[in-house]
């Protein structure tokens, strides 16, 4: 794009600018882009001369965008995304699908789905590179809406949301505990039920996600509606930590089947589903309503429902 004699605005310069804006520092952008800090500084300085104003304030901890930078960022990001989409689309039509596809996954599905997805991508799309971002549904949904990930597998409990969704499976939430702890509890209540109410679990020591969290919000809202108090002995932002506490401290938790399938198969955990219809989890494939969908991202997205069906058939996930 010719701006003036001797000045040329390049996509590379815009990409560098966006990297600095998101990293909040020259050094962070240099590490991300694999460039020397001096090269980053020169590109930013040239861009500032071209645009006629400062893009960043220098601070003790890095850089902070100016008002001009904020305006440029709003236009630069869709421009860069469009350029990437054009390039990858052209490669796709030429039979050479390539590029980076960023997939957001919730912890319950991440271990199995990520390894199955990598196998499928290596086999069918050898020039595509996967980036897996793990987080709880709210965090991943935010990244998706902002265009920071291409697609995601998240949990849904309600219909709201600005992104596009395809249902992969629907499963009840379950009371989960160590086998010995669960069996001791059932001996005091007269046997193992086929399903149980939240009220029956309200007195048990529960380790639950740190709010705000979709499962936690659902449990708190239902408990409030039923006028019961949950006995939360610990909160954790990691399902790995939650399961460790269940094992080491005889606590209980509330999780879907696929989050504890390995522990159930090994006989380490036992679980009973909740009877309340509200305590069900829908796992969906979500795509961004704002980020352009590349050929590579589209083909990776088409793989995920088939992989989910295979995991259900194998009993790793359960409807």
- Rounded Cα gap, residues 23 and 46, in angstroms: 19
pLDDT value, residue 7: 59
Q: CA nearest 22: which of 51, 65, 76?
A: 65
CATH class held by domain 96-168+283-313? alpha beta
Mean pLDDT of all residues in 152-173: 78
pLDDT value, residue 268: 95
CB atoms within 10 A of CB 251: 23
- Rounded Cα gap, residues 241 and 235, in angstroms: 9
**Arithmetic mean of pLDDT over the chain:** 86
Indicate whether 94 pLDDT > 60. Answer: no
Architecture of domain 170-281: 3-Layer(aba) Sandwich (3.40)
pLDDT value, residue 132: 93
Architecture of domain 2-88: Orthogonal Bundle (1.10)
Mean pLDDT of all residues in 213-224: 90
What confidence tier does 9 reach under pLDDT thresholds 50, 70, 90? confident
Q: Which residues of 207-220 are buried (b: 16+ CB within 10 A; e: fewer)?
A: bbbeeebbbbebbb
Beta bridge partners of 130: 101
The three-class DSSP label of residue 261 is: helix
Domain with CATH 3.40.190.10 in the chain: 96-168+283-313, 170-281
For residue range 17-60, what is the model confidence (pLDDT) as tens digits? 988 998 889 988 888 788 899 999 999 999 998 888 999 998 88
| ∠ CA 13-19-23, rounded to 5° | 150
Beta bridge partners of 164: 287
Indicate whether 163 pLDDT > 80. Answer: no
Output the pTM of the full model: 0.65
Is the CB of residue 43 less than 8 Å from the CB of residue 55? no
Mean pLDDT of all residues in 168-182: 92
Mean pLDDT of all residues in 167-190: 92
Domain with CATH 1.10.10.10 in the chain: 2-88
Q: Which two tokens stand for residue 319?
A: 């409807």
- Rounded Cα gap, residues 136 and 209, in angstroms: 10
Omega within 30 of 0 (cis) for the link into 278: no
For residue range 245-284, what is the model confidence (pLDDT) as tens digits? 999 999 999 999 888 988 998 999 999 999 998 888 889 9
For residue range 116-148, what is the model confidence (pLDDT) as tens digits? 999 999 999 999 999 999 988 888 888 887 778
Q: Which two tokens stand for residue 16?
A: 């560098």
DSSP letter for 9, please.
Answer: -
pLDDT value, residue 1: 47
């Amino acid at each position: 794009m010719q701006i003036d004699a001797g000045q040329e605005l390049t996509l590379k310069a815009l990409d560098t600018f966006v990297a600095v804006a998101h990293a909040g520092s020259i050094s962070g952008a240099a590490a991300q882009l694999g460039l020397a800090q001096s090269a980053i500084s020169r590109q930013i300085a040239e861009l500032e001369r071209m645009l006629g104003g400062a893009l960043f304030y220098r601070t003790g901890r890095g850089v902070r965008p100016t008002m001009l930078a904020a305006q440029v960022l709003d236009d630069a990001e869709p421009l860069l995304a469009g350029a990437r989409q054009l390039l990858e689309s052209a490669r796709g039509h030429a039979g050479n699908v390539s590029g980076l596809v960023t997939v957001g996954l919730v912890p319950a599905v991440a271990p199995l789905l990520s390894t199955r997805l990598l196998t499928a991508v290596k086999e069918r799309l050898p020039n595509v590179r996967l980036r897996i971002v793990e987080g709880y549904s709210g965090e991943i949904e935010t990244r998706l809406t902002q265009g920071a990930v291409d697609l995601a597998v998240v949990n849904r409990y309600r219909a709201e949301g600005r992104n596009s969704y395809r249902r992969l499976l629907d499963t009840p939430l379950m009371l989960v505990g160590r086998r010995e702890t669960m069996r001791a509890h059932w001996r005091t209540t007269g046997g193992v039920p086929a399903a149980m109410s939240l009220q029956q679990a309200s007195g048990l020591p529960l380790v639950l996600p740190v709010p705000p969290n979709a499962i936690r919000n659902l449990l708190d809202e239902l408990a409030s509606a039923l006028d019961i108090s949950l006995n939360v002995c610990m909160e954790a932002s990691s399902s790995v930590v939650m399961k460790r506490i269940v094992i080491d401290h005889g606590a209980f938790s509330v999780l879907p089947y696929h989050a504890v399938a390995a522990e159930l198969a090994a006989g380490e955990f036992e679980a009973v589903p909740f009877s309340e219809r509200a305590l069900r989890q829908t796992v969906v494939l979500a795509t961004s309503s704002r980020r352009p969908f590349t050929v590579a991202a589209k083909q990776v997205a088409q793989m995920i429902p088939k992989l989910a069906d295979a995991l259900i058939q194998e009993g790793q996930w359960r409807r």
